[in-house]
């Protein structure tokens, strides 16, 4: 069975947590596409060559969840040649047998426009900054993280190639006032409905 779940949204909205949970619930493979860009950004050197030579070892390196890695990912993701180098891998993963969940910023709009399920997970910048600040555990202030979140939102939404935005047929899930459990359950209900429709 081919069944693709595309989950997009800005940093720290909860899309990764939701994606991992629904992949376990439904037995789908999961790909955090942001890790691809974080790994490219942290490799250093020419980002296009880094994207073309990306290996599983690069995806397993330490520090890919750090604030620095997130900033590096946002910068290299704005480069069309980097995005092009990673598109084929993502599309092949999405159509694997048994179903797949991919989370990122352009999955439902560019990578998998024909996905059976599209979710756009969002939350206020303040809420997302607080989550990222608590998660990172780094020596920085909440105000600095909030400024980074806002700057990254502008960069991700404003890039010329594959800007971050909700697909026209995506369901928006605002997690600002939701608990983790509530957000996961809302996503599960929607995916279960789509699966049932397919029989």
Is there a binding annotation on residue 181? no
The answer to whether residue 185 is domain-embedded is yes
The answer to whether residue 130 is domain-embedded is yes
Look at residue 118 in the predicted model and tell me its pLDDT.
98
Look at residue 172 in the predicted model and tell me its pLDDT.
97
Is there a binding annotation on residue 13? yes
pLDDT in tens, 42-78: 998 999 999 999 887 888 899 998 888 988 998 898 8
Look at residue 155 in the predicted model and tell me its pLDDT.
87
pLDDT at 146 over 90: yes
| C-alpha to C-alpha distance for 112 and 89, rounded to whole angstroms | 12
End-to-end, the C-alpha distance of the chain in Å comes to 11
- Rounded to 10°, the helix 125-136/142-158 angle is 120
Is there a binding annotation on residue 158? no
- Rounded to 10°, the helix 67-77/142-158 angle is 20
The answer to whether residue 137 is domain-embedded is yes
How does residue 27 score in pLDDT terms, banded at 50, 70 and 90?
very high
Look at residue 185 in the predicted model and tell me its pLDDT.
98
Look at residue 176 in the predicted model and tell me its pLDDT.
97
Long-range contacts, 45-53 (Cβ 8 Å, 24+) = 47/76, 47/79, 47/82, 48/79, 48/81, 48/82, 48/85, 50/76, 50/82, 51/76, 51/81, 51/82, 51/85, 51/86, 52/85
Instruction: Name 173's bridge partners.
Output: 121
| C-alpha to C-alpha distance for 7 and 90, rounded to whole angstroms | 13
pLDDT in tens, 153-169: 888 888 877 788 899 99
| Six token digits for residue 76 | 């290299």
Is there a binding annotation on residue 10? yes
Is there a binding annotation on residue 85? no
| C-alpha to C-alpha distance for 6 and 37, rounded to whole angstroms | 17
Is there a binding annotation on residue 11? yes
Is there a binding annotation on residue 188? no
Look at residue 138 in the predicted model and tell me its pLDDT.
65
pLDDT in tens, 77-130: 889 999 899 998 899 889 999 999 999 989 999 999 999 999 999 999 999 999
The answer to whether residue 199 is domain-embedded is no
Domain of 110, in residue numbers: 4-193
The answer to whether residue 85 is domain-embedded is yes
- Whole-number average pLDDT of the chain: 92
CATH of residue 100: 3.40.50.300
DSSP state, residue 101 = E
Q: What is the count of structural domains for the chain?
A: 1
Is there a binding annotation on residue 17? yes
pLDDT at 141 over 70: yes
DSSP state, residue 104 = E
Is there a binding annotation on residue 80? no
């Amino acid at each position: 069975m081919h069944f693709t779940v595309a989950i997009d949204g800005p940093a720290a909205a909860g899309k990764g947590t939701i994606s991992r949970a629904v992949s376990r619930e439904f037995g789908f493979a999961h790909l955090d596409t942001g890790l691809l860009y974080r790994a490219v950004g942290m490799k250093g050197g020419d980002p296009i060559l880094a994207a073309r030579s990306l290996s599983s070892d690069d995806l397993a390196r330490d520090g890919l969840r750090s604030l620095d890695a997130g900033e590096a990912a946002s910068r290299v993701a704005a480069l069309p040649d980097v995005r092009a180098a990673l598109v084929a891998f993502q599309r092949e993963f999405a159509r694997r047998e048994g179903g797949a969940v991919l989370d990122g910023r352009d999955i439902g709009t560019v990578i998998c426009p024909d996905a059976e399920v599209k979710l756009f997970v969002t939350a206020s910048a303040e809420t997302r900054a607080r989550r990222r600040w608590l998660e990172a555990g780094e020596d920085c202030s909440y105000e600095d993280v909030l400024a980074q979140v806002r700057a990254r939102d502008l960069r991700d939404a404003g890039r010329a190639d594959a800007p971050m935005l909700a697909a026209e047929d995506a369901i928006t899930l605002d997690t600002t006032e939701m608990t983790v459990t509530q957000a996961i359950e809302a996503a599960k209900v929607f995916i279960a409905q789509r699966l049932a429709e397919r029989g």
